Amino acid sequence: MRLPVLLLAAWLAIGSAVADAKVYIDIASPGSHRVPVAVPEFRLLGPAPALSAQLSDALSSDLAFTGFFDVVPRGAYLEAASQGATEGITAGSIDFRRWGLIGSHLLVTGGMSSKEGNLRLELRLFDVLEGKMIVGKAYVGHPDQARQMVRRFAGEIVRAVTGLEPIFDTRIAFVSDARGHKEVYAMDYDGSSVSPLTEMGAITMSPTWSPTGSEVTFISYRAGSPDLYSLDPQSKHIRRLYAARGLAMSPAWSPDGSVCAAALSFEGNTDICLISREGKLLKRLTTDSGIDCEPSWSPDGKRLAFVSSRGGSPQVYVLDVATGAVRRLTFAGSYNTSPAWSPRGERIAFAGRAGGGFDVFVMNADGGNVQQLTSGKGSNEEPCWSPDGMLLAFSSTRLGGSRIFVMNADGTNQRPVGPAKGRQTEPAWSRQLGTQ
């Protein structure tokens, strides 16, 4: 459980946000470039734990992971103008020209000191070209909380540069068979802090987060049938949400958290249904003779993307929840599955059969402008979006057994995250969890 920072993010006295809301990254532009940022080792402002390099490296890693920044290698840094000079961490003590000469547009400076067993960490973000501070904060807490402090400031940088809420307090749930059978695990956004969420002792799969992150809902065969369960990640309290009379698959909470969509079977036919928070079956949304499954809500809660075999092969369709009107979205390819609606609602990611395996694709919410994001590297399936809509997690067999990967929303920077032991599948990315 995360510890509270004793003095939370005090604004530094020299001010903040002096860059007048300058736009550094236009997130709406598909061709937007990463912003070069330099993160030199934090300075010692007094006695302090030997964490300077570790924490500045951690901040660099956080920024690079987002896909918004290019971190300038420290080997490219220029020496201070005069021999023996030591640059400080405030605007008046920084030679911005030398940072500009190496191509850096942003500069992060940090200073560390400790008193009475607590660590004080001062962090500032500067616009190199204008020589002005964008944001600055100070944190005080136990040295064990230093990584948490750095992540919070990384979040301030993302807000200032992009206007988006950062992903650093998010978690990715996934399924792993590392203990011999499938259970649900969770990890931080970057694959760190892996921990088991369930110990059901039976096949457990299809995790999905509630909108607040206070629940993880999943399917488990613990009672012999694929029933729906919900779990509080903090207390680990589990309740059975719905006891299925037949098959139950792919739960998905509505954006307001009021209802859960899931695929349930009725007399051999599988349809999309709505279940209340209390576990009551509210409505059967589809009644076609084909198999309907894998619902994914639009951000406004008015539509559901889902997979149906009604046309002869699995394809992605969209359902208007109020009217029941259904429209097919995918036509190319013989097998398209796992739709995932983007947080801003403009795109849908999905997995499509390509050659001998699957690859991840994205399309506009109306089915147009289909783009393939993965190619020629194992089978790539089960895409899900980060809450800012800038990253996609997915499962891939490119390294042998199935692993969780993350990539930028344009398909670049594909890299594995999380454990290598066992097979990892079905990633589900939470929204911001705050201090939970």
Q: Are residues 133 and 184 in the same domain?
A: no
Predicted confidence (pLDDT) at residue 436 exceeds the cutoff of 50? no
Identify which of 331, 414, 322 has the alpha carbon closest to the alpha carbon of residue 366: 331
pLDDT score for 9: 46
Residue 75 lies in a domain: yes
Identify whether the C-beta of residue 172 lies closer than 8 Å to the C-beta of residue 189.
Answer: yes
How many domains are contained in the chain?
Answer: 2
Q: Are residues 319 and 354 in the same domain?
A: yes
Residue 226 lies in a domain: yes
Q: Are residues 410 and 282 in the same domain?
A: yes
CATH of the domain at 125: 3.40.50.10070
Residue 94 lies in a domain: yes
Identify whether the C-beta of residue 141 lies closer than 8 Å to the C-beta of residue 118.
Answer: yes
Q: Are residues 294 and 367 in the same domain?
A: yes
Residue 348 lies in a domain: yes
Identify whether the C-beta of residue 67 lies closer than 8 Å to the C-beta of residue 386.
Answer: no
Beta pairing class for 292-297 and 35-38: unpaired
Predicted confidence (pLDDT) at residue 383 exceeds the cutoff of 70? yes
- For 315, half-sphere exposure in the C-beta direction (CA atoms, 13 angstrom radius) is 18
CATH of the domain at 280: 2.120.10.30
What whole-number percentage of the chain has pLDDT above 70? Answer: 91
Q: Are residues 157 and 272 in the same domain?
A: no
**pLDDT mean over 327-338:** 96
pLDDT score for 23: 63
| Model pLDDT for residues 238-296, shown as the tens digit of each residue | 999 999 888 899 999 999 999 999 999 977 789 999 999 999 999 999 999 899 999 99
| Structural domain that includes position 54 | 7-162
φ and ψ of 159, to 5 deg: -60, -45
Q: Are residues 224 and 373 in the same domain?
A: yes
Residue 261 lies in a domain: yes
Identify whether the C-beta of residue 143 lies closer than 8 Å to the C-beta of residue 160.
Answer: no
| Model pLDDT for residues 14-40, shown as the tens digit of each residue | 344 444 556 677 666 544 578 999 999
Q: Are residues 158 and 179 in the same domain?
A: no
- DSSP sequence for 266-333: ETTEEEEEEEETTS-EEEE----SS-EEEEEE-TTSSEEEEEE-TTSS-EEEEEETTT--EEE---SS
Q: What is the enclosing helix (H) or strand (E) of 196?
A: strand 195-196
| Model pLDDT for residues 188-224, shown as the tens digit of each residue | 999 999 999 999 999 999 999 999 999 999 999 999 9
Q: Are residues 184 and 279 in the same domain?
A: yes
Q: Are residues 59 and 121 in the same domain?
A: yes
Q: Among 102, 132, 162, identify where a domain stops.
A: 162
Q: What is the enclosing helix (H) or strand (E) of 353?
A: strand 347-354
Q: Are residues 298 and 255 in the same domain?
A: yes
**pLDDT mean over 103-114:** 95
Residue 434 lies in a domain: no
pLDDT score for 56: 96
Q: Which of 7-16, 195-204, 335-344 has the lowest mean pLDDT?
A: 7-16
Q: Are residues 190 and 235 in the same domain?
A: yes
pLDDT score for 21: 53
Band (47; pLDDT cuts 50, 70, 90): confident
pTM, full prediction: 0.91
Q: Are residues 273 and 391 in the same domain?
A: yes
Predicted confidence (pLDDT) at residue 3 exceeds the cutoff of 70? no
Residue 415 lies in a domain: yes
